[in-house]
Structure 1
Amino acid sequence: MASRNDSTESFANRTTQERREILRSRLTTTHYLEETASTNTLNTLEDIMKDVDNLNLDTSLDEKILNQEEVVLDSELMQASSQILKHCITSITTEVTYNFLEYCDKLKEYIGFTSDSIDSSNGWSVFEDDAVKYFRKVPTYLTLLGGLEPIEKKVTVRKKITKDSEAITKRPQKIVELEKAEEESVENTVEKIKSLIYTECKRTLKPIDFYKLIINPIDFGKTVENMLHVSFLVRDGRVKLSRDNNDRLVVSSSTKEMRAQTKQANSTVQNVMTLTIDNWRALTKLYNLKKPMIN
């Protein structure tokens, strides 16, 4: 008769239908174990899990993807086996009582220890190989402590902090000048765009299409900068953003009253719409733009 460890089968070259039947059979047996738990429950469950593992090893990943029913059956087997293990743990906890004196007596009997024997070290060899695995070995360290002359400690002299070193560190002049130059450059650019809008509106006697104004057909980054600069002008009330009769966004010059009202409101909020590179390409093609209005 084959031992319990040799009872698992080989499932190489099985068809999909055969694998399903094997899984269903093992699942039925597992459900039976849930209802009739006994001392051999864990042994039987171990054999079932080995069969399932062997079946999974002989099944490729592509086959598992194409046969989802096998994956479901495998999951049900895992769930049922976990319930059995949980039930066994509960039974051991509630039904089995542990008596350490009885355990010691059985242990002494197992290693051949008697009260008449003085030297019982021979009994250790019975389970030495198994027991030593559970004892942590203390690592061996080698040290040169005491073998060399101690090095004389070097005295560190702390530098006295003077009032000059406590002074507040100022930002480098070059950085301040660079930031100032950048701010002036942006202001000049915004002012030029405002002059362009006023001049064009005066010449044509009608507002300018917002997208024709800001889009640079050869540079997406410049388009975003133009939109941001125009938003500054709209925020400060220096130009007017509205919709024409065709519901298109247009930009026009503002009146003195509009500028005064905006200044009195003292608004610090400016709105910038979302413009992706795909939108930029589509608008450039729609308006058939060849060169930018803001150059």
Structure 2
Amino acid sequence: MSFCTKMSSNSADDNVVLDYKKLLEQVEEIRNQDVGLESVQSISRVMSIAEELVDKVKKPREIGLDAKVLEISSAVVQQNAERFDSGFRPEEFADKLINKLTLHDTESSQTDSLIWQRFREKFSHLLPLAPRFDYLLGTIDKEKVQRKVRQPRQPQSRNEGTKELIKVLANKSTMQDNEIGQQHILDYISRLLVKTYRRNGEKPISYFKVVLSPNSLEETCQNILHIAFLVRDSFVKISTGEFTSVFLM
């Protein structure tokens, strides 16, 4: 072994000895302190450091220092244990714990509502609350809502016979409310179609000009239905012209 290697080994050994001496000073200070949780925690930290130093122990002197640290540490732990045991009564501790936990239950004047109220006051800040909102459905006052006034559409220009026919088709559809049968309505409409056909010079009548009512979808649907019945009964015929327009024959 060279001189440098030997000097390095001696330096490492000296460091281990110094570390153990520091631990001895710490455990002596802890032993002179008052017993309690703080002293136990301090001893726990010292023991952790001692466990790391054990791997570096090589000489009898170092082993002796380690044993001394363990001896004093054990004495401190024993001292704390005796102190705690002398003043600790398990039965008394259990009674106090039960009384503390059941304090609110023994109050006969408290009701369930008061208990839940106290619970809410103490723990409401821990519970995430959903944002408040109200439904609009059913809360709007209909009396205050002003209805929108619709402007009537301007009727398109039609020949006199077609206008009269559309008006009669729409008006005669209400005869059902006056206990007049469907057949009477169709007979009346068929007579008007004949008049319109003759007035038009016995030329085909435009189907759309007859059934379409620009001011009422309901009237238009009724007119389509009545013309369909007349076609079914073979009173009128429908054909397409040169420009694919539909005509009544």
Query: Into which bin does the TM-score normalised by the smaller protein fall?
Result: 0.3 to 0.5
TM-score by length of 2: 0.33
Higher-Rg structure is 2
TM-score by length of 1: 0.29
Higher helix proportion (structure 1 or 2): 2
